[in-house]
Amino acid sequence: MSDEPINELLDSAYSQSGTITFLDGPSSPETYTVTKSNKLIGAQIRLNSREQKVLAACISLINPQGEYPNGLTVELDDEHIQTLTGIEKRHIYRFIDKAARSFHSIPIETPGKREGTVDIINIAHRSQYDPETRKFKITFHEDMHDELLKLSQYTSVELQYLVILSSKYSIRLYEILSKQYNQKKGGIQYFKTTLDALYFPLGLKDLNGKPLTASYIKDYTSFKRRVLDPACKEISSNTNLVVSFEPYRVGRSIAGITFVIRPKSKIIEKSFILPDHYDKLIIEDALKFLNIKQAIHDKWIKLFDEQVIKSNIFYCARKVVEGADIKNPTAYTQLLLKQNIANLPDIANPFSDKYKHNKDGKEFVKRVVLPIWWMLPAELRFELSKVSGFSVHPKTASFYKGFITSAKNDSYDEAEVLFDSDSALDEWSNN
Tell me what pLDDT residue 115 has.
67
| Side chain identity, residue 34 | V
User: pLDDT tens digits, residue range 42-74?
Assistant: 999 889 888 999 899 899 888 888 888 888 999
User: pLDDT tens digits, residue range 192-242?
Assistant: 999 988 999 999 988 777 888 777 777 888 999 999 999 999 998 888 898
Strand order of the sheet with strand 19-22? Answer: 13-16, 19-22, 73-77, 135-140, 124-130
pLDDT at 9 over 70: no
Tally Cβ neighbours within 10 Å of residue 93.
12
**Among 111, 50, 130, which residue's Cα sits nearest to residue 84?**
50
pLDDT at 176 over 50: yes
Helix (H, G, I), strand (E, B) or coil at 260: strand
User: pLDDT tens digits, residue range 116-170?
Assistant: 677 888 899 988 888 888 888 999 999 999 999 988 889 999 988 998 898 999 9
d(Cα 53, Cα 335) in Å, to the nearest integer? 44
| Full-model pTM | 0.62
Could you tell me the domains of the chain? 1-164 (1.10.10.10), 167-264 (1.10.10.10), 266-343 (no CATH), 346-429 (no CATH)
d(Cα 246, Cα 417) in Å, to the nearest integer? 35
Calculate the dihedral angle through the C-alpha atoms of 157, 161, 163, 164, rounding to the nearest 10 degrees: -170
Tell me what pLDDT residue 371 has.
92
d(Cα 404, Cα 416) in Å, to the nearest integer? 10
pLDDT at 425 over 90: yes
Phi-psi sector, 358: left (phi>0), alpha (psi -120 to 50), beta: beta
- The answer to whether 368 and 415 have CB atoms below 8 angstroms apart is no
In 106-173, at which residue ranges do the beta strands (DSSP E only) sit?
Answer: 108-111, 118-121, 124-130, 135-140, 154-158
pLDDT at 10 over 50: no
- The answer to whether 119 and 110 have CB atoms below 8 angstroms apart is yes
In 298-374, at which residue ranges do the beta strands (DSSP E only) sit?
Answer: none
Lowest mean pLDDT among 2-6, 307-311, 337-341, 395-399: 2-6
| pLDDT > 90: percent of the chain | 48
Tell me what pLDDT residue 384 has.
95
124-125-130 Cα angle (round to 5): 80
- The answer to whether 278 and 314 have CB atoms below 8 angstroms apart is yes
pLDDT at 7 over 80: no
* pLDDT (mean) for 351-356: 85
Q: What values do phi and psi take at 347, rounded to 5? A: -65, -25
d(Cα 310, Cα 283) in Å, to the nearest integer? 7
- The answer to whether 150 and 22 have CB atoms below 8 angstroms apart is no
* pLDDT (mean) for 345-365: 91
pLDDT at 87 over 80: no
pLDDT at 103 over 70: yes
